[in-house]
Copies of this chain bind each other. A is one copy, B any other.
Amino acid sequence: MPDLDFWYSIGSTYSFLTIMRLDDWCSEHDASVTWRPFNVRTVMSQQKNIPFAGKPVKSAYMWRDIERRAAKYHMHAQLPAPYPISDLALANQVALLGMEEGWGKNFTQILYRIWFEEGVEAGSETALSEALHRSQQDPRLILSRARSPDIVAALEAETLRAIKLGIFGAPSLVVGNEVFWGDDRLDDALSWARVGHVI
């Protein structure tokens, strides 16, 4: 079974497509994917990679492209979703804590639904609390633990690992040392994992 790392950041718009379809895609292709939240804002600020802020034409295209592709995948979405999100670090700290405890993937999928289907900004305490609640977690307790120095440091460490791999944006699929950026590169990554080239 091919083994891939899915590096994502809550706050990334195109990650919506991947987060919503990845489970089905894994079943269909008999693939196994490890979900790895990181702080894409740290990475992109460091690399002066500002794809949408101050770029209205490219931003409008991004939403239209997501809309067309969401329809292709039969996903419901109210677009544009609130963007950018406020507390990107906190959202991903919660996700990382959840990964350690086994509820992180479910939480991420629910939070993206709240963000993209219900229009509540994903870095807000409202959205985070609601997503935790729907994940059968105690929002007050989890938000407090997600803010602890341990989890803050853990997300920073994962972000450093992402940078060392050559990641510059989200979502990214990684197979060994090969980075595949974008929801539209899932099949390339799988092909690489299986046969060592893109077919």
A57 cross-chain contacts in B, Cβ below 8 A: 47, 166, 168
A168 cross-chain contacts in B, Cβ below 8 A: 55, 57-58, 61
> In the complex, which residue of chain B has the Cβ closest to the Cβ of A46?
B57
Smallest Cβ distance from A11 to chain B, in angstroms?
Answer: 18
Interface centre among A57, A178, A180, A192 (most CB of B within 10 A): A57
A69 cross-chain contacts in B, Cβ below 8 A: 188, 198
* B49 and A197 contact, CB distance less than 8 A: no
A181 cross-chain contacts in B, Cβ below 8 A: 61, 65
CA separation between A184 and B188, bound complex, in Å? 11
CA separation between A174 and B61, bound complex, in Å? 12
Find A58's partner among B49, B68, B71 (CB 8 Å cutoff): B49
> For the complex, is A54 an interface residue (Cβ under 8 Å from B)?
yes
Smallest Cβ distance from A59 to chain B, in angstroms?
Answer: 10
Question: How many residues of A sit at the interface, in one of the four size bands?
Answer: 20 to 34
Check A197/B68 contact, CB under 8 A, given A48-B54, A49-B55.
yes
A198 cross-chain contacts in B, Cβ below 8 A: 68-69, 71-72
> For the complex, is A179 an interface residue (Cβ under 8 Å from B)?
yes
> In the complex, which residue of chain B has the Cβ closest to the Cβ of A67?
B198
> For the complex, is A60 an interface residue (Cβ under 8 Å from B)?
yes
CA separation between A68 and B45, bound complex, in Å? 27
Report A66-79 CB contacts with B as 1/0, cut-off 8 Å: 00110110000000
Report A39-54 CB contacts with B as 1/0, cut-off 8 Å: 0000000011100001
* B197 and A72 contact, CB distance less than 8 A: yes
A178 cross-chain contacts in B, Cβ below 8 A: 64
Smallest Cβ distance from A117 to chain B, in angstroms?
Answer: 20
A-B pairs, 9 with minimum CB distance: A72-B198, A68-B198, A57-B168, A58-B168, A184-B184, A47-B57, A49-B55, A47-B55, A57-B166
